[in-house]
Amino acid sequence: MFRTTLLAATLALTFANAQAETAKQPLQMKVYNADGNSFHANSTLIYGEKEAIVIDAGFTRADALRIGANVLDSGKELKTIFVSQADPDYYFGVEVLKQMFPNAEVVATPAVLAKISSKLDGKVAFWGPKMGANAPKKPVLPAALKGETLTVDGEKIEIRGTKGPLAHRPYVWIPSTKTITGNIGVFGGLHVWTADTQNAAERTLWIAQLDDMAALKPEVIVPGHMQAGSKLDVSNIAYTKQYLQTFEKNAAAAKNSAELIASMKKAYPDAGLGMALEIGAKVNKGEMKW
């Protein structure tokens, strides 16, 4: 009798656990898309039933406050702030978020952290006067992430692209929802930032990374930067790849940056973030150092 009762209780518990697992809600996502003053950069809030992480902290203090408000509205515990890239529009906002959520861990991959550390003083000196009260007062450096995964309520979030020449430009892959976010490689409806890839070989590596992303067959793509209202789908990968290929062809044909800018504007008349084109064209035609 006792063994029968114990077996029944065990089966009931197993069934209950299976039901609970089945009923577990998928991870949710909310994207904050900054305006042109912050280069249309995206920050992504990922949350489950109890926990949340923020992927990228925004550029201005105002951006960070809005990102923080999304966390508060979610009602979840912010576990981690992950800085995916070494550009200021990804990490300047950490200071404000850390003040709002002091228990949250702030991390970046070792390669990204190394880039941030080497350029932080120069970035603050350059952008601080331009941003005024919206600039960080005491920028917060992330810690080095150990491993290549994060978790939200036990759900694994992978950091990919952490090896090789583009180790400082990784991206986030969420297997359970087939989502790519936390990247600088994908743009949506904007001129693509090419000032940091100053030769054809680097842009070829970039395109290869885009192909790696597409091979995952993602259902959701959150570009690193996007025009407001852009679709969050695989079309952003195709757009960015085509833009880079067009830029390569036009850069080879152009005598100077003015010609390159004109040809890219003709090819992408509706693209925003003209500053990215202007700086990228000047840098890649040898008229400006970056």
Same domain, 97 and 201: no
Q: Could you report the per-residue pLDDT of 60-106, keeping only the tens digit for each?
A: 999 999 999 999 999 999 999 999 999 999 999 999 999 999 999 99
Q: Is residue 5 predicted with pLDDT exceeding 60?
A: no
In a domain, 161, yes or no: no
Q: Within a domain: residue 95? A: yes
Which residues lie below 8 Å from residue 82, measured CB to CB, with a gap of 6+? 53, 54, 55, 56, 107, 108, 145, 150, 159, 172, 182
Per-residue pLDDT at 13 exceeds 70: no
Same domain, 79 and 198: no
Q: Which two tokens stand for residue 67?
A: 């990102």
For 241-258, what is the mean pLDDT? 98
**pTM of the prediction?**
0.91
- Specify if 5 maps to a domain: no
Please tell me the predicted confidence (pLDDT) of residue 24: 74
How many domains, in total, are found in the chain? 2
Quote the domain boundaries for residue 126. Answer: 25-154
Residues 148 and 189 in one domain: no
The enclosing domain of 85 has a CATH number of 3.60.15.10
Instruction: Assign 290 a pLDDT band (cuts: 50, 70, 90).
Output: confident
Instruction: Provide mean pLDDT across the span 193-210.
Output: 96
> Is residue 3 assigned to a domain?
no
Only one residue has tokens 């009602």, namely 75
Same domain? For 215 and 145 the reply is no
Examine the domain organization and report whether 81 and 145 are in the same domain.
Answer: yes
Mean pLDDT of 112-138: 97
Both tokens of 143, joined, read 């810690």
- Regarding whether 264 and 144 lie in a shared domain, the answer is no
Tell me the pLDDT band of 23, cut-offs 50, 70 and 90: low
Instruction: Dump pLDDT digits (tens) for 148-167.
Output: 999 999 999 999 999 999 99
Distance (Å, whole) CA 278 – CA 255 = 15
* Same domain, residue pair 223 and 140: no
Residues 136 and 238 grouped into a single domain: no
Within-domain flag for 175: no
Asked, for residue 252, whether it belongs to a domain, the answer is yes
Considering the domain architecture, whether residues 42 and 139 belong to the same structural domain is answered as: yes
The whole-number average pLDDT for the span 263-287 is: 98
Residue 279 and residue 195 in contact, taking contact as beta carbons nearer than 8 Å:
yes
**Residue in this structure with the two tokens 């800085």, named with its chain if needed:** 83
What whole-number distance in Å separates Cα of residue 84 and Cα of residue 108?
A: 6
Angle of helix 235-253 versus helix 274-284 axis, rounded to 10: 40
Residue at 74: amino acid letter: S
Together in a domain, 147 and 48: yes
On whether residue 170 sits in a domain, the answer given is: no
Is 168 a domain residue? no
